[in-house]
């Protein structure tokens, strides 16, 4: 039951971001959601924004209808997002995403900020623990997060809509 609640919250948060985000386009919707379980190894959001120093044992990647990607780290305070274009976790091998914006918020209220940076991931299908990391700089500060998977491949949720 808890997994369903996590997926539901993650999907609704990403759907809200996809619908409202100028960086991703007004018409983008979530087409696929992937999750990886493991442990957060770094989370630092500083500068003029509220500072978050934690993330949970799950990270998500959402593929949107316009081809954009959203990587979401869930934290004690709120989820935070790195938005951009790049590789999907469904591919074999590692990949990279160029970050164009970051966002954070609670409930139905999210703030988005233009940013420059990247997200990288190691081969999440190899059966070994793999790193997912994101780093971005914006006018209000720098955000970064790193996560080590449990060695299992991403769980996939196709979104109908």
- Euclidean distance between CA atoms 32 and 71, whole angstroms: 12
SS3 state at 67: coil
Q: How far is residue 30 from each of residues 10, 70, 147, measured CA to CA in Å?
A: 11, 9, 23
Assign 7 a pLDDT band (cuts: 50, 70, 90). Answer: very low
Q: What is the pLDDT of residue 142?
A: 87
68, 28 contact by CB (below 8 A): yes
Domain boundaries, the chain: 2-154
pLDDT tens per residue across span 101-150: 988 776 667 778 899 999 999 999 999 999 999 999 988 788 888 899 99
Mean pLDDT of 16-38: 67
Kindly calculate the radius of gyration of the chain based on its CA atoms and give it in whole angstroms. 14
pLDDT tens per residue across span 69-115: 999 888 666 678 899 999 999 888 999 999 999 887 766 677 788 99
- Euclidean distance between CA atoms 142 and 47, whole angstroms: 6
Mean pLDDT of 56-80: 84
């Amino acid at each position: 039951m808890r997994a369903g609640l996590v997926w539901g919250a993650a999907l609704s948060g990403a759907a809200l971001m996809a619908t409202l985000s100028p960086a991703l386009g007004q018409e983008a919707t979530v087409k696929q959601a992937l999750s990886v379980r493991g442990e957060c190894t770094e989370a630092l959001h500083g500068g003029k924004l509220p500072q978050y120093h934690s993330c949970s044992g799950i990270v998500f990647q959402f593929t949107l209808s316009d081809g954009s990607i959203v990587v979401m780290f869930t934290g004690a305070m709120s989820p935070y997002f790195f938005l951009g274009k790049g590789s999907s976790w469904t591919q074999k091998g590692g990949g990279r995403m160029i970050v164009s914006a970051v966002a954070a918020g609670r409930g139905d209220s999210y703030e988005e900020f233009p940013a420059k940076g990247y997200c990288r991931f190691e081969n999440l299908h190899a059966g070994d623990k793999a790193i997912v990391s994101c780093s971005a700089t914006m006018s209000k500060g720098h955000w970064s997060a790193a996560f080590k998977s449990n060695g299992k491949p991403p769980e996939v949720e196709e979104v109908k809509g």
